[in-house]
Structure 1
Amino acid sequence: MTEHEKMLAGQPYNSLDSELRQLREQARLACAKYNAHPSKGNLKHITRLFRSFGRTAIEPGFQCDYGLHISVGENFYANFNCVLLDSNVITIGDDVMLGPGVHIYTVDHPRDAARRKSGECFSKAVFINDGVWIGGGAKILPGVTIGKNAIIGANTVVTKDVPADTRFIG
């Protein structure tokens, strides 16, 4: 398996792999082009990376690792300075709003320092269902699923699944 395949399978992988570094560089350049001159026309630099997207509004300051593993539904809104680290799949449903500075992480690192130093990482998918609102500054950690119509409070760190139709304030 390639390091990219291992990454998507949730297996330990080497983040220093040349293919992965090249893919991250492509995403950084696309984000930089959009963030330097944000417009509906320039949004294509980001959305052409995405696996799929519906009607989407993304404010400047947006960053992603690869973009390739992000799917967003209709009426998606990401406020200023959102970060989606998509070392694994990030699936976002319809009518989802992210407040400013929301971070969604799929990547994690070994707790052992020697393994971290070697570049080893692992990842878990994140799923955000329809109608979710995530307040500013919230952090969604790897492997989390957020149920339909849930509300995540500002500055909350979400470490476990959130049921549908609930408010989660950490």
Structure 2
Amino acid sequence: MNDSELIGLRLRARKLVKKYNDYPPPDFTADFKIEDFFGPDERFHILGDLFGMSLERTKALAIEPPFHCDFGFNIKFKGEFYSNFNLIILDGAEVTIGTRVQCGPNVQIYSATHSVEVEERRARHERAYPIVIGDDVWIGGNVVIIGPCTIGNGVTIAAGAVVKGDIPNDVVIGGIPAKIIKYLESSTS
């Protein structure tokens, strides 16, 4: 893709994200159903357009506004997902999110990066690396995930951690940079 195509795709995403974030919350009534908390269908259609997903699959997502991303179509959800306020996903490369992943507030997922070489930054060269988050992962508040990164299944990431690289299944990680704090029993049992 050329730069003008990328700019057009980013502007498209910004418009959809703004529409999603500005959508008024539903009114509470005596017959209120919890599944309507992030709805109605019209609001889920906005996410469906952004992520290239069907309405049925989009209804498995619970994203508290505000939410921000670069493109949207590079974000792949395998199943149920919840995010608290202020999720940011820079999806210049593919970001795959497993099922039953939950995020605290202010989580930042960055596939995009810039060179440490000044001349490359002046030339506006960018890079993007894939990120894969496994199933049943809890991401604490203010966590930053930087690509390339693969996070295994059943991982808990402590609040404020900065994560990059390969993280095995069933561990608790934390710190800057994130390190294994504790090994857990297998999440597949």
Shorter-normalised TM range = 0.7 to 0.9
- 1:19: which partner in 2? 5
Partners of 2:85 and 2:17 lie apart in 1 by 13
- 1:48: which partner in 2? 49
Partners of 1:136 and 1:43 lie apart in 2 by 24
**Matching of residue 36 in structure 1 with residue 37 in structure 2:** no
- 1:97: which partner in 2? 102
Structure-2-length-normalised TM-score: 0.78
Q: How does 1:7-156 map to 2 (within 5 A)?
A: 17-38=3-24, 39-40=38-39, 41-52=42-53, 53=57, 55-156=60-161
Rg: which structure is higher? Answer: 2
Q: How does 1:153-168 map to 2 (within 5 A)?
A: 153-168=158-173
Deviation at 1:116, TM superposition (A): 1.1
Query: Contact between 1:51 and 1:70, CA under 8 Å: does it hold in 2?
Result: no
Unaligned runs of 5+ in 2: 25-37, 176-189
Deviation at 1:20, TM superposition (A): 0.8
Deviation at 1:84, TM superposition (A): 0.6
3-state SS in 2 of match to 1:141: strand
Deviation at 1:51, TM superposition (A): 4.4
3-state SS in 2 of match to 1:67: coil
Give the aligned length.
156
3-state SS in 1 of match to 2:135: coil
**Worse-matched range after superposition: 76-85 or 109-118:** 109-118
Counterpart of 2:84, as a letter, is N
Unaligned runs of 5+ in 1: 4-16
C-alpha change, 1:51 and 1:89, in structure 2 (3 Å) is: farther
Query: Contact between 1:126 and 1:142, CA under 8 Å: does it hold in 2?
Result: yes
Counterpart of 1:127, as a letter, is V
The percentage of counterpart residues that share the same residue type is 38
Structure-1-length-normalised TM-score: 0.86
Q: With CA pairs under 8 Å and 6+ residues apart, which has the higher RCO, 1 or 2?
A: 1
The structure whose residues are more often strand, as a share, is 2
3-state SS in 1 of match to 2:51: coil
Counterpart of 1:74, as a letter, is G
Partners of 2:157 and 2:49 lie apart in 1 by 28
